[in-house]
Amino acid sequence: MTEEYEDHSGGATGKDSWTWPLRILTAVLLIERMLFGVMFMMTGVSWWRRSTPPGDYLLESIALGLEKNLLPVPPYDLFFNAVVVPHPALFASMAGVGEVLTGLALLLGFPKRVGAIGGIFLMANYGLAFGNGLLPPTGNFITMLLLLPLLSKLPYRVFTPVHKLSGRVNPV
């Protein structure tokens, strides 16, 4: 039930007074979702388009990070050194697949919350793995903060055939 109230600026009901800000916010979130979807798709596909295998690329990135004093943040460093470094091909493949799936979820808009959670998870892991030993890089956490609004219940979407086929009126 929506309550209507009088808008003192012109006598219009308050039910319509918030439609244009909501539409602008919806458009901004849609553009943000599409940009992040393209970004994750491009980085995910690039894992397999390199001249070196993904595992070798991950090892090269780790070595370059160590040269630049980009050490994993404690206590994440225990996991990173014990699990990720001994299995670079597995984790490089998982990162590539995760980025492609996150990008698809954000681009298609159907599991957009899953895509936003996947993006936040990936950025958190990258930030903790390539910190400076004390604090994670701020760029990854800014990306995480920008992904948070995509968890909202606003029905922003461009192409969602699943919702059209299922007959849902207001998909979340």
Q: How far apart are the first and last CA of the chain?
A: 19
Which domain does 147 fall in, by range?
A: 19-152
Of 11, 130, 3, give the one whose Cα is nearest residue 76: 130
**Structure-token pair, residue 135:** 């604090």
Q: How confident is the model at residue 156 (pLDDT cuts 50, 70, 90)?
A: low
Which of 74-83, 118-127, 131-140, 160-169 comes out lowest in average pLDDT?
A: 160-169
More confident residue, 122 or 22: 122
What average pLDDT does this structure show over 72-86? Answer: 90
What average pLDDT does this structure show over 99-128? Answer: 89
Q: Is 104 within the bounds of a domain?
A: yes
Give pLDDT tens digits for 90-108. Answer: 999 999 999 999 999 998 8
C-alpha span between 31 and 100 (Å, rounded): 18
Query: What pLDDT score does 159 carry?
Result: 45
Query: What pLDDT score does 140 carry?
Result: 79
The tally of domains found in the chain comes to 1
Q: How confident is the model at residue 150 (pLDDT cuts 50, 70, 90)?
A: confident
Q: Is 168 within the bounds of a domain?
A: no
Q: Is 56 within the bounds of a domain?
A: yes
Q: What angle do CA 75, 54, 43 make, to 5 degrees?
A: 85
| Cβ–Cβ under 8 Å, residues 147 and 116 | yes
Query: What pLDDT score does 41 carry?
Result: 94
Q: Is 77 within the bounds of a domain?
A: yes
Give pLDDT tens digits for 9-43. Answer: 444 454 555 677 777 887 888 888 899 999 999 99
What mean pLDDT, rounded, does the chain reach?
78
Q: How confident is the model at residue 133 (pLDDT cuts 50, 70, 90)?
A: low
